[in-house]
Chains A and B, each alone.
Chain A
Amino acid sequence: MKSIETYSPRKLSEALRILSERREGIRVIAGATDIIVQVLERKKDPGALLNISYLDELRFIREDEGTVRIGALTTHREIERSPIIKKRGKLLAEAAFIVGSPQIKNLGTIAGNVANASPVADVVPPLMVLGSVLTLKSSSGERRIPIGEFATGPGATVMRPDELLIEISFPALRPDEISFYERLGQRRLLSISKVGVAFRARCAGKKLSDVSIALGAVAPRVITAPRTAAFLEGKEYSEEVAAEAARIVESESKAITDIRSTESYRNRMAGALLIRGFARVFQSFPG
């Protein structure tokens, strides 16, 4: 057995102090569900670890004044079951349900999913369309950046080595907003996303406005689909409109072929999932 130097602070301030002192030489772990796999697969020495999972102050889901705030350590399980999220960030609850298996959901955290900066991360597309803001904190201060500016490529972010992601917040969904997250894996659950589509818009009758769409697993990072969103802006939902939107979103998708799927299937499915999501929402939507 190998021993790994591990710090398990009980206070955020202490964690930030360790980070600022150690900088590059230490890695943060929360649920460790991503890290463990990376360490095992790359057979690399992870160096020292900063285990933040005891920082209970980062474990919360709150709604204040129209803003939903989620603490970094909140698990997928907690999100999936939260009455606040089910009501105020419905598609995020849908995404959290999809993540891995019950075991993974009990350990994996929302911040871990975001900080890992994987293009296939399931909670990121929903957070994008919700207009989420990330709070990054270091011992020298705090900054807030929109989630769209966070990841720069697979595994790469604008976060500094002395920073922790401590909170994710977004404007609570209002009753006149619709949202969905649809994704495809190689099997129903416990599989990595082949393509994921997050959608949010205001909807009056069937008229869409303030449309936001994000796509997972079809580019080196989670991307938005601005042309599709622009097309849908102000349109009444109909099957024809959905079909046209699907065609546009397919051209915005920039997938590649790999062991899990093909480029053409993924791009096509970005459209298919949009259609599927609309069908699901509008069959239950009043009016």
Chain B
Amino acid sequence: MTTIFSLIVTMVPPHLNPPPQGGRRIERTYEEWKRTEVESVRSKAKAADMAAYKYIGKRITRIDARPKVDGSLKYPSDLYVKGMIWGRVLRAKYPHALIRAIDTSAAEKLPGVVMVLTHKDIKGINRFGIERQDQPVLCEDRVRYVGDAVALVGAETKEVAEKALELIKVDYEPLPLLIDPREALKEDSIKLHEKGNIVHELHFTRGDIGSGFAGADVIVENTYTMQMMDHAFLETEAGLASVDKDGLLTVQSCGQYAFRDVTQIARALNYPEEQIRMIEPYTGGAFGGKDEITVQILLALLALKTQRPCKIWFSREEHFISCTHRHPVEIRMKTGVTKEGKLVAHEVWVLQDGGAYATLSGPVLCLVIEHCCGPYLIPNLKVDGWAVYTNNGMSGAFRGFGATQAHLAMESQMNILAERIGMDPLSLRAKNVIRRGDTFGIGEEMIMDFGVDQSLEKAMKHPVWTDRERIKREGSSGGRGDRGKKRGIGVACCFQGSGLGKGLPDYAATTLELNKDGTVTLFQGTIEIGQGSYTGITQIAAEILDLPPEKIRFVGADTKRTLDSGTTTASRVIYAAGQATLLAAKNFVEMLKGEASKIVKSPPETLLVEEGNVLNRSGRKTVSYREIASSLKEPLRAEGVFHIPVADREFSMGLPHTVFCSNTQIVVLDVDTLTGEVEVKKVIAVPDCGTVINPINVEGQSEGGIVMGMGYALYERNVIENGYFKNTGLSTYILPTSWEVPEIETCAVEVPEETGPFGARSVAEVVTTPTAPAILNALYDAIGIRFTDLPVTPEKIIDALERKKKKQ
């Protein structure tokens, strides 16, 4: 096995020190966890016991539902303060050019303009990037994509700021473009960065690929190409920043990791971390697209320079051109299987277009590689992958994070192989699945329980699958009214790690505090980006504290009030922050009992909590949380810290993971052979997310994930020509709407995760991954054509049908 590293690992250090601001902390690593907790999780999480829970597994209304509906909850773009100014960014005119000079004098003279800033106004490294810092906040001498920021205007109104942008004169010298990722690999190509065009490359072999293929009865080889995709969240990037008289900079903005944003601001601008406060509890959708810095550093810079509160809110067009997207990828796969249905060899070649700067291209490539075998055992493997720089916009984190692209290819391969050996596609999958204890993929070990076999089994027994021949016949209506409609039914499966993987600090922390009125405040540093995790976390606390959720006040991401709880990415929040909350709550209950015992004069071990009271076993002596609170001089505060288990061996940064979720989907769709239109009629989803903390939230994730997957398969694409974005609005970037949403049935299998809170794992990414390959497989089932290039538009379908007709 060989690995080539080109990573400069400069991840943000943990922010957990110094230890708690008073109170007590329980901290658990996986090893300790195993000793103390595993048995109880195992026994309790049995389905029969679920009824014993008061709040876990219940359809509890989201804690943010009402304020979001009545408008009282403020999203970052809703924030306005008196005396604030507007910031607007001048973006690059060319996708690749040298900057000879920037003249801001005319813009500065425009009445209403407060300040025009360029790279010269930045004292720090003027760079940002999660994995390595190669992206300029404001460009110095070169632009590498059309979204590059060249100057920043602060003005009294949005309109003046807009006008001022037109008055900034930038003298450019256009450079030749690098737009073909294959070209980027060549020795003599134009170099976009000093070290060349390769962001990251990975090369692995396992077993003996040659003898593997020699033992195969059927070998299938295909190339799959996937487009760039936009996160298309409802709220474009926004925020508000201000500086107080002591120099404390407060930035309220969108984001996915407040603590890392502090570090990125401090580093880029050379401003002390302690003097920066990020508040970003609620973000109007993210899906990975707000993981990297967007408005934060610009806001900080403008506020520090002008000493005025300032607001930045990207337009939809600005969002499209400047922010990260799902990586366009080309994946070649050659896969061998025996006629009995054993996968024996797999050769994979990956070329990923990362665009102008690194952001998370390296880690995304790692995940393409980690998931390139799907959730299946293949003893002989060879993979080669490259992530390269080009002038094609920017790509980075996006729900699925590479696993989406890997599965699109692999799940197509599985259906092709199944057909070639005459086996049912779900049976072929079931025959090869990874189980606990297996060594899989690039040589990782499955050390935890893994529910993919159960997910597949449940899908196989679903009536839509068992009755598929009849359902198919009913839909293909031949000569009647809906002329030429053909129905197809397809399946796909997937898995994905929870958490950041090996080599990156990965922990979560929760603080609980007793309020005078007997309610409890829960401090959590992750972010509510729409997924509902604040509600799930509240339910976990409620269960342990035996306190109704409405008695728990939630304080979300605020770097001066909450502890660092890691990123809101990587399917990790309900698992990691949930577990930290469970620990904090147990800790809190112990402390409550300690205090109560002084009042009721019984030893703590004889006490229980119930409905906001502490009582002794006979139930005769009771003391309420409120009474305990009023008996205390110092507030009662407890913390819980959970460290995500990590594998022993490290393959590359973020590789491998240890805890995996999975999902199987069945798609029923109709193809109109007259027009090439596709109508997805029904989707069955069988995720394994461990214990379901809140069914509404799991269904919400599943339904949203499926519609997003439909967009990937059938509609969405960022069109870039010669470095310029061609569709920068939602009238030309086509998202599915409610009219496209099919009937969706989500029936989770709950294989308890022994390290997760109440056995919960996670669900946020696996919900979207199988949809696109299942659609491709259903299309094949309907019209006998194998599509390998996304999105599959009616134009492509009509062309393919025509070609097929001509061949016959």
**Chain A contact residues, CB within 8 Å of chain B:** 1-2, 37, 41, 43, 184, 186-192, 259-262, 264-265, 268-269, 272-273, 275-276, 279-280, 283
Partner of A188 from B480, B731, B739 at Cβ < 8 Å: B739
- Count of A-B contacts judged by CB separation below 8 Å: 56
**Chain B contact residues, CB within 8 Å of chain A:** 157, 159, 162, 480-481, 483, 674-677, 715, 719, 726-727, 729, 731-732, 734, 736-737, 739-740, 794-795, 798-799
Query: Which residues of chain B are near A1, meaning CB under 8 Å?
Result: 157, 159
Q: What is the CB-to-nearest-CB distance from B320 to chain A, in angstroms, rounded to a whole number?
A: 13
Of all chain A residues, which has the CB nearest B726? A259
Asked if A268 and B798 sit within 8 Å, CB to CB, the answer is yes
Asked if A272 and B734 sit within 8 Å, CB to CB, the answer is no
Asked if A184 and B794 sit within 8 Å, CB to CB, the answer is yes
> Known: A187-B736, A259-B726. Is A269-B157 also a contact (CB below 8 A)?
no
Query: Which residues of chain A are near B729, meaning CB under 8 Å?
Result: 41
Query: Which residues of chain B are near A43, meaning CB under 8 Å?
Result: 162
Query: Which residues of chain B are near A275, meaning CB under 8 Å?
Result: 483, 674
Of B483, B676, B715, B798, chain A has the most CB atoms within 10 Å of the CB of: B483
Asked if B481 and A272 sit within 8 Å, CB to CB, the answer is no
A-B contact pairs, 29 of them (CB 8 A): A1-B159, A2-B159, A37-B731, A43-B162, A184-B675, A184-B677, A186-B715, A187-B715, A187-B734, A187-B736, A187-B737, A187-B740, A188-B737, A189-B737, A189-B739, A190-B737, A192-B731, A259-B719, A265-B676, A265-B798, A272-B674, A272-B675, A273-B675, A276-B674, A276-B675, A279-B481, A279-B483, A283-B480, A283-B481
Q: Complex: how many Å from CA A10 to CA B369?
A: 67
Q: What is the CB-to-nearest-CB distance from A54 to chain B, in angstroms, rounded to a whole number?
A: 28
Q: Tell me what chain B mostly uses at the interface: helix, strand, loop, or mixed.
A: loop
Of B794, B795, B799, chain A has the most CB atoms within 10 Å of the CB of: B795
Given pairs A1-B159, A269-B798, 15 additional interface contacts (CB within 8 A): A186-B734, A187-B715, A187-B734, A187-B739, A188-B737, A188-B740, A189-B739, A191-B734, A259-B719, A265-B795, A265-B798, A265-B799, A269-B675, A273-B675, A279-B481
Q: Complex: how many Å from CA A1 to CA B737?
A: 32
Query: Which residues of chain B are near A186, meaning CB under 8 Å?
Result: 715, 734
Of all chain A residues, which has the CB nearest B735? A187
Q: What is the CB-to-nearest-CB distance from A152 to chain B, in angstroms, rounded to a whole number?
A: 25
Of B675, B727, B737, B798, chain A has the most CB atoms within 10 Å of the CB of: B675
Q: Complex: how many Å from CA A180 to CA B795?
A: 23
Partner of B481 from A2, A261, A273, A280 at Cβ < 8 Å: A280
Of all chain B residues, which has the CB nearest A43? B162
Partner of A265 from B162, B483, B794 at Cβ < 8 Å: B794
Q: Complex: how many Å from CA A43 to CA B166?
A: 12
Asked if B727 and A259 sit within 8 Å, CB to CB, the answer is yes
Q: What is the CB-to-nearest-CB distance from B581 to chain A, in angstroms, rounded to a whole number?
A: 41
Q: Complex: how many Å from CA A268 to CA B677?
A: 14
Q: What is the CB-to-nearest-CB distance from B246 to chain A, in angstroms, rounded to a whole number?
A: 34
Q: Complex: how many Å from CA A279 to CA B483?
A: 7
Query: Which residues of chain A are near B734, meaning CB under 8 Å?
Result: 186-187, 191
Query: Which residues of chain B are near A189, meaning CB under 8 Å?
Result: 737, 739
> Known: A276-B483, A283-B480. Is A259-B736 also a contact (CB below 8 A)?
no
Query: Which residues of chain A are near B675, meaning CB under 8 Å?
Result: 184, 269, 272-273, 276
Of all chain A residues, which has the CB nearest B739? A188
Of all chain A residues, which has the CB nearest B734? A186
Of all chain B residues, which has the CB nearest A190? B737
Q: What is the CB-to-nearest-CB distance from A75 to chain B, in angstroms, rounded to a whole number?
A: 20
Query: Which residues of chain A are near B740, meaning CB under 8 Å?
Result: 187-188
Query: Which residues of chain B are near A268, meaning CB under 8 Å?
Result: 798
Query: Which residues of chain B are near A259, meaning CB under 8 Å?
Result: 719, 726-727, 732
Of all chain B residues, which has the CB nearest A276? B674
Of all chain A residues, which has the CB nearest B714? A187
Of A184, A187, A264, A280, chain B has the most CB atoms within 10 Å of the CB of: A187
Query: Which residues of chain B are near A41, meaning CB under 8 Å?
Result: 729
Of all chain A residues, which has the CB nearest B740? A187
Of all chain B residues, which has the CB nearest A280? B481
Q: What is the CB-to-nearest-CB distance from B230 to chain A, in angstroms, rounded to a whole number?
A: 15
Query: Which residues of chain B are near A187, meaning CB under 8 Å?
Result: 715, 734, 736-737, 739-740
Q: Complex: how many Å from CA A280 to CA B484?
A: 13
Q: What is the CB-to-nearest-CB distance from B98 to chain A, in angstroms, rounded to a whole number?
A: 28
Q: What is the CB-to-nearest-CB distance from A282 to chain B, in angstroms, rounded to a whole number?
A: 10
Closest 3 CB pairs of A and B: A265-B795, A188-B739, A186-B734
Query: Which residues of chain A are near B798, meaning CB under 8 Å?
Result: 265, 268-269
Of all chain B residues, which has the CB nearest A37? B731
> Known: A184-B675, A188-B740, A265-B798. Is A260-B732 also a contact (CB below 8 A)?
yes
Query: Which residues of chain B are near A272, meaning CB under 8 Å?
Result: 674-675
Q: Complex: how many Å from CA A265 to CA B801?
A: 12
Query: Which residues of chain A are near B794, meaning CB under 8 Å?
Result: 184, 265
Q: What is the CB-to-nearest-CB distance from B290 to chain A, in angstroms, rounded to a whole number?
A: 24
Q: What is the CB-to-nearest-CB distance from B65 to chain A, in angstroms, rounded to a whole number?
A: 23
Query: Which residues of chain A are near B799, meaning CB under 8 Å?
Result: 264-265
Query: Which residues of chain B are near A280, meaning CB under 8 Å?
Result: 481
Query: Which residues of chain A are near B677, meaning CB under 8 Å?
Result: 184
Of all chain B residues, which has the CB nearest A265? B795
Query: Which residues of chain B are near A264, meaning CB under 8 Å?
Result: 799
Query: Which residues of chain A are near B674, meaning CB under 8 Å?
Result: 272, 275-276
Query: Which residues of chain B are near A261, meaning CB under 8 Å?
Result: 795
Q: Complex: how many Å from CA A283 to CA B676?
A: 22
Of all chain A residues, which has the CB nearest B711? A187
Q: Complex: how many Å from CA A265 to CA B483?
A: 18
Q: Complex: how many Å from CA A269 to CA B799?
A: 12
Q: Complex: how many Å from CA A221 to CA B51?
A: 65
Q: What is the CB-to-nearest-CB distance from A238 to chain B, in angstroms, rounded to a whole number?
A: 13
Q: Complex: how many Å from CA A264 to CA B799?
A: 9
Q: Complex: how many Å from CA A192 to CA B734?
A: 11
Of all chain A residues, which has the CB nearest B729? A41
Q: Complex: how many Å from CA A279 to CA B479?
A: 9
Of all chain B residues, which has the CB nearest A2? B159
Q: Complex: how many Å from CA A272 to CA B481?
A: 14
Query: Which residues of chain A are near B739, meaning CB under 8 Å?
Result: 187-190
Q: Complex: how many Å from CA A2 to CA B157?
A: 10
Q: Complex: how many Å from CA A2 to CA B162?
A: 13
Q: What is the CB-to-nearest-CB distance from A46 to chain B, in angstroms, rounded to a whole number?
A: 14
Of all chain B residues, which has the CB nearest A275? B674
Q: Complex: how many Å from CA A262 to CA B802?
A: 15
Of all chain A residues, which has the CB nearest B317? A41
Of all chain A residues, which has the CB nearest B483? A279
Q: What is the CB-to-nearest-CB distance from A263 to chain B, in angstroms, rounded to a whole number?
A: 10
Q: What is the CB-to-nearest-CB distance from A159 to chain B, in angstroms, rounded to a whole number?
A: 26
Q: What is the CB-to-nearest-CB distance from A268 to chain B, in angstroms, rounded to a whole number?
A: 7
Query: Which residues of chain B are near A184, meaning CB under 8 Å?
Result: 675, 677, 794
Query: Which residues of chain A are near B737, meaning CB under 8 Å?
Result: 187-190
Asked if A262 and B481 sit within 8 Å, CB to CB, the answer is no
Query: Which residues of chain A are near B715, meaning CB under 8 Å?
Result: 186-187
Query: Which residues of chain A are near B732, meaning CB under 8 Å?
Result: 259-260
Q: What is the CB-to-nearest-CB distance from B480 to chain A, in angstroms, rounded to a whole number?
A: 7
Query: Which residues of chain B are near A273, meaning CB under 8 Å?
Result: 675
Of all chain A residues, which has the CB nearest B719? A259
Q: Complex: how many Å from CA A265 to CA B726?
A: 20
Of all chain A residues, which has the CB nearest B737? A190
Query: Which residues of chain B are near A191, meaning CB under 8 Å?
Result: 731, 734
Q: Complex: how many Å from CA A270 to CA B229?
A: 30
Q: What is the CB-to-nearest-CB distance from A186 to chain B, in angstroms, rounded to a whole number?
A: 4
Q: Complex: how many Å from CA A272 to CA B798?
A: 11
> Known: A187-B736, A280-B481. Is A262-B719 also a contact (CB below 8 A)?
no
Query: Which residues of chain A are near B157, meaning CB under 8 Å?
Result: 1
Q: Complex: how many Å from CA A283 to CA B677?
A: 21
Of B480, B674, B727, B736, chain A has the most CB atoms within 10 Å of the CB of: B674
Of all chain B residues, which has the CB nearest A283? B481
Query: Which residues of chain A are near B480, meaning CB under 8 Å?
Result: 283
Q: Complex: how many Å from CA A192 to CA B740?
A: 16
Q: Complex: how many Å from CA A187 to CA B676?
A: 12
Of all chain A residues, which has the CB nearest B798? A265
Partner of A262 from B483, B726, B736, B795 at Cβ < 8 Å: B795
